Chain A
């Protein structure tokens, strides 16, 4: 993003945020698998697949924009 300052790309921070949130939400979804919360459509286990999706997106962003990775 920055040619003058060599700042870590903002996309890397987005990746870190998604990765950490994905892990937390996936773990929380797995922990409540047998006893889902009292919410509508809890049987769909949204935290599990949503957490998984965040992990995939976050991991991809972290890998693609990690500090020190040269631009292709």
Chain B
């Protein structure tokens, strides 16, 4: 093992000691042990795909946040913080918290009461097979692509930082994920996501602590950034969003509020089955409502270990990092800021802990993708289109095989990603393709009983095609950026936000227009699926501190306070 790990590259950043390797190997051994231990409990479809619907609010909430905390997320957003400054924190705050609260307080009751096993499953009940099939296919493609890109991102970092062989990193990590998810299903995925959540915090929290000690606190850090990058504003969130050219992202506040907060975040956190599946595993409706609210508090804290290290990198790193596409020998890219900061402060032991946190982030991200893929394939594609009636055990077996196959397809997409120098830029665009229009379709379906099956399908299709069309136009001719993103100064992330906004708007307009010319479904068929026809069970009389609404309000207050502090 040690020999394999030490398939070294002369240009590596750090050298691992024996204790670091023991820490990494112990993590792999523990997740496999947990997988095999949980295999005995994942015997029925409900157990394997929904973790028996018996998770507490805390476990479901942590898994909900953790499934989104993959290595791509950690490395990518730390890199974005170095590139764009604290503006990147918008993706954790306004770009997550309101959407998580909306999921918990408004949408979760519909998902939960309908007893659906997936988001395409809800569309099947609400709109029929056409919209559901389209959503299932696009989701399956997206999860596999995301899983592969995530895998590639981790392998590249392991190569640059540790000199590990690219193939070795990809195969060992992904086969481990395949084994434990195939064994324990969603039980395994959720257990390891919770484990990974704690591991990431324990491995990454020392960076901001030591970084702030080195810079003399927040003010010292800001002062050093201003010295290193004179004339640029990296430490304000809103005051520099009045004009596209006033901030490093080329972003306008409308892009953040409407593109990110109202569309992309709402779409991702409320309709991306990868995260929603974790909440559906909750043991009762109160837990299902509380899980995203609990998750929102942790999500609000994540910038401490992701965004702050990127800002500290601007302040303390002796070299200037560059975009991956402009990398020269001896230079480092934005995405390497987190490992660079890790190497700056962490010696033997702590370094192993930090590297394990990155590997764990990748594995949890991948486990989330493949477990969601297995569920959607088995329940939303295989069962309705290929084999309608089969014993429950057959579908569990299909889920297990599908997990293995999903991992191997992901490995293929990881190698495909190597052929595209700028594939990382396209990840947000992928969300824009598939998630932004889906949000419009799901939300209209939940809130307006008049929406018809045909409208759901055509709205979703029109939104997806609009998103792909805008993306292609902006990549092929920069003049379109000024049209669709409202300014030629808009950078990649800003373009993605407006792409999502137009995509969702198109979806809503087409859905409304088609609804007006088609026949609605009878009310009796929509009970439990639409707001006006559903008796959302009133909460049992519990104390204030046990009410989801109270904690939702507290999270919202926390969000507002953070915006004011970093205005």
A interface vs B, CB < 8 Å? 1-5, 7-8, 10, 13-14, 16-18, 20-21, 24-25, 27-29, 32, 36-42, 44, 46-47, 50-51, 54
Asked if A41 and B210 sit within 8 Å, CB to CB, the answer is: yes
**Is B134's beta carbon under 8 Å from chain A?**
no
Contact of A1 among B59, B195, B344 (CB under 8 A): B59
Which residue of the partner chain A has the closest CB to B14?
Answer: A39
The contact of B52 among A2, A27, A39, A42, by CB within 8 Å, is A2
Interface centre among A3, A24, A29 (most CB of B within 10 A): A24
8 sample A-B contacts, Cβ–Cβ < 8 Å, listed by A number = A3-B283, A5-B47, A5-B54, A10-B191, A14-B195, A20-B26, A46-B345, A46-B350
Kindly list chain B residues whose C-beta atoms are within 8 Å of the C-beta of A25.
19, 23, 349-350, 353
With A5-B41, A32-B347, A44-B213: A50-B30 Cβ-Cβ less than 8 Å: no
> CB distance B191 to A24 under 8 Å?
no
- B8-49 contact mask (Cβ, 8 Å, vs A): 1 or 0: 000000000101001100110010001001100100000100
Give bound CA distance, A47 to B210, whole Å.
12
If A13-B30, A16-B30, A17-B195 touch, does A4 touch B23 (CB 8 Å cutoff)?
A: no
Q: Say if the beta carbon of B194 comes within 8 Å of chain A.
A: yes
Q: Would you give the shortest CB distance from B291 to chain A, in whole angstroms?
A: 13
Q: Given A1-B59, A18-B202, A46-B206, do A39 and B195 touch, yes or no (CB 8 Å)?
A: no
Residues of B within 8 A of A (CB): 17, 19, 22-23, 26-27, 30, 34, 37-38, 41, 47, 52, 54-56, 59, 187, 190-191, 194-195, 198-199, 202, 206, 210, 213-214, 283, 316, 343-350, 352-353
* A15 nearest in chain B by CB position: B198
User: Taking chain A's interface residues, is the majority helix, strand, or loop, or is none over half, making it mixed?
Assistant: helix
| Inter-chain contact A10/B195, CB cutoff 8 Å | yes
Known: A13-B195, A14-B195, A50-B206. A4 touches B54 (CB 8 A): yes
CA distance A64 to B27 in the complex (A): 22
Query: Shortest beta-carbon distance, B208 to chain A, in Å?
Result: 13
Closest approach, in angstroms, between the C-beta of A6 and any C-beta of chain B? Answer: 9
A47 and B350 alpha carbons, distance in the complex (Å): 6
A66–chain B nearest beta-carbon distance, Å: 15
Q: Are A5 and B52 in contact (CB under 8 A)?
A: yes
How many Å lie between the Cα of A51 and that of B202 in the bound state?
10
Instruction: Give chain B residues whose Cβ lies under 8 Å from the Cβ of A7.
Output: 38, 41, 187
Q: Which residues of B contact A24 (CB under 8 A)?
A: 19, 22-23, 349, 352
Please name the 5 residue pairs, one residue from A and one from B, whose CB atoms are nearest each other, closest first.
Answer: A37-B347, A28-B349, A25-B349, A28-B19, A5-B41
Q: How far is the CA of A31 from the CA of B52 in the complex (A)?
A: 46
Who on chain B is nearest to A42 by CB? B347
A62 smallest CB distance to B (angstroms): 13
- A64–B198 Cα distance when bound, in Å, is 17
A3 to B52, CA, bound (A): 10
CA distance A42 to B143 in the complex (A): 42
> From residue A15, how far is it (CB to closest CB) to chain B in Å?
10
Q: Which residues of A contact B353 (CB under 8 A)?
A: 21, 25
List the A side residues contacting B210 at CB < 8 Å: 40-41, 44, 46
On whether A4 and B26 interact (CB within 8 A), knowing A17-B199, A24-B19, A28-B348, the answer reads no
Question: Measured between alpha carbons, how far is A17 from B202 in the docked complex, in Å?
Answer: 11
In the complex, how many angstroms separate the beta carbon of A31 from the nearest chain B beta carbon? Answer: 8
Would you call B348 and A37 a contact (CB within 8 A)?
yes
Least CB distance, A40 to chain B, in whole angstroms: 5
Judge whether B349 and A29 touch: CB under 8 Å. Answer: yes
Contacts of A50 in B (CB 8 A): 206, 350
The reply to whether A39 and B37 form a contact with Cβ atoms under 8 Å apart is no
Task: Judge whether A21 and B23 touch: CB under 8 Å.
Answer: yes
Contacts of B202 in A (CB 8 A): 18, 21, 54
Q: Which of A3, A13, A17, A40 is within 8 Å of B344, CB to CB? A: A40
Q: Is the CB of A1 within 8 A of B214?
A: no
In the complex, A37→B37 CA distance in Å? Answer: 39
Bound complex: CA A2 to CA B206 (Å): 33
* Closest chain B CB from A70 CB (angstroms): 17
* B309 nearest CB across to chain A (Å): 13
B407 to chain A, nearest CB (A): 23
- CB of A40 within 8 A of CB of B41, answer no
Question: Which residues from chain A contact B344 at a C-beta distance below 8 Å?
Answer: 39-40
Cβ contact within 8 Å between A40 and B199: no
Taking a contact as CB atoms under 8 Å apart, the answer to whether A10 and B59 are in contact is: yes
| Minimum distance in angstroms from A23 CB to a CB of chain B | 10
A2 and B51 CA atoms in complex are apart in Å by 10
| Most central of A20, A25, A51 by chain B CB within 10 Å | A25
Decide if A41 touches B213 in the complex (CB within 8 Å): yes
With CB as the reference atom, state the residue of chain B lying closest to A37. B347
- Asked whether A13 and B191 contact (CB < 8 A) given A37-B347, A40-B210, A40-B345, the answer is yes
A14-B195, A36-B347, A46-B346 known; 17 new pairs, CB 8 Å cut-off, are A5-B52, A10-B59, A18-B198, A25-B23, A25-B349, A27-B19, A28-B19, A28-B347, A39-B347, A40-B210, A41-B213, A41-B214, A41-B345, A46-B210, A47-B350, A50-B350, A51-B349
Bound state CA distance, A13 and B196, in angstroms? 11
**Chain A residues closer than 8 Å to B206, beta-carbon distance:** 46, 50
Residues of A within 8 A of B348 (CB): 28, 32, 37, 47
